């Protein structure tokens, strides 16, 4: 069983629509959750962090966390063509050392004109 | 400007050859990480180090070696024992015990020729 799962996509949305990206994780003691955006050929860029249940908003991005159901999601409002990228979900466990992040395989988002 | 510098950006390796990827940071971060990214497989942890002169294996350490002689530097050697080294290699860092996302370098794309 994969520790962090994402639908690989591609997820296609029209410009101006809301894009919804989902991620589930298996380690119940996970404490910290992150969303990275990665353009083709580039390194990942951190766009959102969330640590407690509920919603966290930053501009057009909203991260949602539900620890009981072990899922975290990212909503992108008013999607733009520049949002077309792969979005990686990353999880930090509460156990073990090293402050390591475990990544999902990413969801490819395509925003169409 | 503070950041993580990876070099070279592109690297070509012949069969049976060892190559070393450089990762240097001026962020004064204690912890550094090496990940490998293959298409469709997300990021997988190779090695990490939380302090100078100490490092631990990640999930896919076979065929790789590292050193941490200075806080700023965490080079990765891809040895001839790594049978499938073609991938995108990413270095990341974070202050030790900090609970936020990594800062990534720009990556090194390694190709076997």
Q: Which token pair is A49?
A: 């962090």
- Round to whole Å and give the CA distance between A6 and A1: 12
Percent of chain A with pLDDT over 70: 95
The reply to whether residue A105 touches residue B102, judged by beta carbons under 8 angstroms, is: no
The set of residues, in sequence order, having a beta carbon less than 8 Å from that of B113 and lying 6+ positions away, is B12, B13, B14
A-chain CB neighbours of B100 within 8 Å are: 32, 49
Shortest distance, CA A25 to any CA of chain B (angstroms): 14
Q: Which token pair is A75?
A: 């909503």
- B58–A contact, CB cutoff 8 A: yes
The reply to whether residue A44 touches residue B45, judged by beta carbons under 8 angstroms, is: no
The set of residues, in sequence order, having a beta carbon less than 8 Å from that of A59 and lying 6+ positions away, is none
- B96–A contact, CB cutoff 8 A: yes
Percent of chain B with pLDDT over 70: 99
Shortest distance, CA A97 to any CA of chain B (angstroms): 9
End-to-end CA distance of chain B: 35
Q: What is the pLDDT of residue A69?
A: 95
CA quadruple B12, B16, B17, B21: dihedral positive or negative? Answer: positive
- Round to whole Å and give the CA distance between A55 and A18: 16
Closest alpha carbon to A78 in A14, A8, A21: A14
**Confidence grade of residue B55 (pLDDT, cut at 50, 70, 90):** very high
Residue of A nearest to B10 (CA): A41
Are A82 and A56 in contact, with CB atoms under 8 Å apart? no
| Chain A (58-87) residues lying within 8 Å, Cβ to Cβ, of chain B | none
Are A72 and A50 in contact, with CB atoms under 8 Å apart? yes
- Round to whole Å and give the CA distance between A60 and A86: 17
**Confidence grade of residue B97 (pLDDT, cut at 50, 70, 90):** confident
SS3 sequence of A49-108: EECCCEEEEECCEEEEEECCCCEEEEEECCCCHHHCEEEEEEEECCCCCCCCEEECCCEE
The reply to whether residue A103 touches residue B99, judged by beta carbons under 8 angstroms, is: no
A97: pLDDT strictly greater than 80:
no
Q: What is the pLDDT of residue B1?
A: 65
Q: What angle do CA A51, B26, A48 make, to 5 degrees?
A: 20
- Round to whole Å and give the CA distance between B55 and A55: 36
What average pLDDT score do residues A16-44 get?
94
| Chain B (25-44) residues lying within 8 Å, Cβ to Cβ, of chain A | 31, 33, 35, 40-44
Which of A51, A63, A98 would you mutate first to test chain B, the one with the most B CBs within 10 A?
Answer: A98
A95: pLDDT strictly greater than 70:
no
What average pLDDT score do residues B10-25 get?
94
User: Tell me: the pLDDT tens digits for A41-81?
Assistant: 999 999 999 999 999 999 999 999 999 999 999 999 999 99
Q: What is the pLDDT of residue A38?
A: 96
């Amino acid at each position: 069983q994969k520790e962090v799962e994402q639908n690989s996509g591609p997820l296609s949305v029209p410009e101006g629509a809301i894009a919804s990206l989902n991620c589930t994780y298996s380690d119940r003691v996970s404490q910290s959750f992150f969303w990275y955006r990665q353009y083709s050929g580039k390194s990942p860029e951190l766009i959102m962090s969330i640590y407690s249940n509920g919603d966290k908003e930053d501009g057009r991005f909203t991260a949602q966390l539900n620890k009981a159901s072990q899922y975290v999601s990212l909503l992108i409002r008013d999607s733009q063509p520049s949002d077309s990228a792969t979005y990686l979900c990353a999880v930090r466990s509460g156990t073990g050392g090293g402050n390591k992040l475990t990544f999902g395989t990413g969801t490819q988002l395509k925003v169409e004109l | 400007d503070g950041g993580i510098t990876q070099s070279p950006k592109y690297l070509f390796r012949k069969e049976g050859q060892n190559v070393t990827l450089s990762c240097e940071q001026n962020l004064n971060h204690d912890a550094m990480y090496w990940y490998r990214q293959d298409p469709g497989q997300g990021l997988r942890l190779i090695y990490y180090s939380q302090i100078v002169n100490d490092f631990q294996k990640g999930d896919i350490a076979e065929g790789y070696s590292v050193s941490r002689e200075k806080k700023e530097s965490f080079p990765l050697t891809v040895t001839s024992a790594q049978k499938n080294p073609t991938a995108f290699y990413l270095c990341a860092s974070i202050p030790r015990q900090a609970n936020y996302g990594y800062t990534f370098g720009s990556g090194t794309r390694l190709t076997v020729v």
